[in-house]
């Protein structure tokens, strides 16, 4: 395996020896709530489950010692989020990490005065959650996954570079969700600019096989997997079906390429968890969300999996290989 090392400023800070191995008082237990729309992963090693606790531990907050995390997962049913948000509020956390716009909205309705650290790929200003990214002005701050836009169009451009002969491209999307609209718009716009036929397939009730069968009927030559928690959590199933249908596919997170996806483009997922932990710590120490600017990443990584390319009989262009931050062999 050959890898080029990708180091964002966030990761450099995390990798440096820290004088904080950081003695937080064991007498005071920090209480942190977490609300997510998806079901929890099966493995406790999955970053979706372990990422935030691990990042908080780096800052001296360790579960079972001086940290209590109350997590609620909606199991893919957004309608459950308001009830789960009320449960979390009753546990009296000092701060709630809310993943996705519907989760943020549920917490604001259930506990308007609780500090919220948001995480997701949406526009909190347009949704009326904050006054501005620079000065949120209320109880919400946090970290966005992408800068302006969602990176969806960029992923399609990179996929077209990897598979230049492609004329028909599939787009795997989660169940209808208003927060997905920007990704849809960007992908459709990029497809039109690249003169590609775009065929969308929605995964209903977790039936990935049916979604891939629907795509197969349109005979796509490549696949974009939408950025969504479900597709990260269920990545093994998605990657296996893409391989079975012999579809070169681009994903959101590096971990999806490490696990057998052809390519991925985004920032560092664990780097984002480290930034979430920073916000949580600041709030636990008395900082006000209203005065904490919302962060957007500025550094991104392209990960390519040559083993998967060989299995697909695909020769990736040299220009793309030179552009990659990490090449898995």
Q: Tell whether 41 and 136 lie within a shared domain.
A: yes
20 is a domain residue: yes
Rounded Cα gap, residues 219 and 215, in angstroms: 7
Assess whether 162 and 177 both reside in one domain: yes
Q: Whole-angstrom Cα distance, residue 66 to residue 262? A: 41
User: Could you tell me if residue 97 is inside a domain?
Assistant: yes
Number of domains in the chain: 2
**What CA–CA distance (Å, rounded) separates 86 from 65?**
26
Distance CA 170, CA 156 (A): 10
Judge if 183 and 322 occupy the same domain.
yes
Q: Is 194 inside any structural domain?
A: yes
Domain match, 173 and 85 both: no
Domain annotation covers residue 63:
yes
Residue 296, domain member (yes or no): no
Q: Find residue 202's DSSP bridge partners.
A: 173
Q: For residues 226-265, b (16+ Cβ closer than 10 Å) or e, as one string?
A: bbbbbbbbbbeebbebbbeeebbbbbbbbbbbebbbbbbb
Domain span at residue 22 reads 9-145+269-291
In a domain, 2, yes or no: no
pLDDT digits (tens, 9 = 90+) for 247-256: 999 999 999 9
Which pTM was predicted?
A: 0.87
pLDDT truncated to tens, each residue of the chain (329 aa)? 444 433 333 333 433 444 444 444 445 899 999 999 999 998 888 999 999 999 999 999 999 999 999 999 999 888 999 999 999 999 999 999 999 999 999 999 999 999 999 999 888 999 999 999 999 999 999 999 988 778 999 999 999 999 999 999 999 999 877 778 889 999 999 999 999 999 999 999 899 999 999 999 999 999 999 999 899 999 999 999 999 999 999 999 999 999 999 999 999 999 999 999 999 999 999 999 999 999 999 899 999 999 999 999 999 999 999 999 999 99
- 19 within domain boundaries: yes
Cα distances (angstroms) measured from residue 103 to each of 72, 123, 233: 10, 14, 17
Q: Is residue 29, in this structure, part of any structural domain at all?
A: yes
Q: What does the pLDDT look like over 75-114, one tens digit per residue?
A: 988 899 999 999 999 999 999 999 999 999 999 999 999 9
């Amino acid at each position: 395996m050959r890898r080029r090392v990708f180091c964002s400023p966030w990761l450099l800070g995390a990798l440096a020896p820290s004088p904080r191995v950081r003695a937080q008082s064991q007498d005071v237990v920090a209480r942190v709530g977490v609300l997510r729309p998806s079901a929890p992963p099966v493995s406790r090693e999955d970053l979706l489950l372990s990422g935030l606790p691990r990042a908080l531990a780096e800052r001296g907050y360790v579960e079972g010692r001086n940290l209590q995390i109350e997590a609620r997962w909606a199991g893919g049913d957004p309608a459950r989020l308001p009830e789960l948000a009320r449960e979390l509020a009753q546990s009296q956390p000092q701060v709630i990490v809310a993943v996705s716009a519907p989760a943020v909205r549920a917490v604001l309705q259930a506990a308007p005065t609780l500090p919220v650290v948001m995480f997701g790929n949406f526009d909190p200003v347009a949704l009326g959650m904050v006054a501005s990214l620079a000065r949120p002005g209320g109880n919400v701050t946090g970290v966005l996954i992408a800068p302006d836009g969602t990176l969806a169009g960029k992923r399609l451009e990179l996929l077209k570079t990897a598979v230049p002969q492609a004329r028909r491209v599939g787009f795997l999307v989660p169940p209808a969700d208003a927060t997905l609209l920007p990704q849809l718009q960007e992908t459709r716009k990029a497809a039109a600019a690249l003169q590609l036929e775009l065929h969308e397939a929605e995964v209903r009730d977790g039936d990935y096989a049916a979604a891939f069968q629907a795509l197969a009927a349109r005979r796509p030559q490549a696949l974009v997997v939408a950025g969504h928690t479900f597709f990260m959590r269920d990545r093994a199933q998605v990657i296996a079906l893409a391989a079975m249908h012999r579809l070169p596919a681009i994903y959101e997170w590096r971990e999806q390429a490490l696990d057998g996806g052809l390519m991925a483009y985004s920032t560092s997922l664990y780097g984002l968890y480290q930034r979430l932990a920073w916000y949580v710590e600041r709030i636990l120490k008395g900082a006000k969300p209203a005065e904490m600017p919302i962060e957007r990443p500025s550094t991104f990584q392209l990960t390519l999996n040559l083993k998967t390319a060989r299995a697909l009989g695909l020769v990736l262009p040299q220009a793309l290989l030179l552009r990659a931050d990490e090449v898995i062999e």
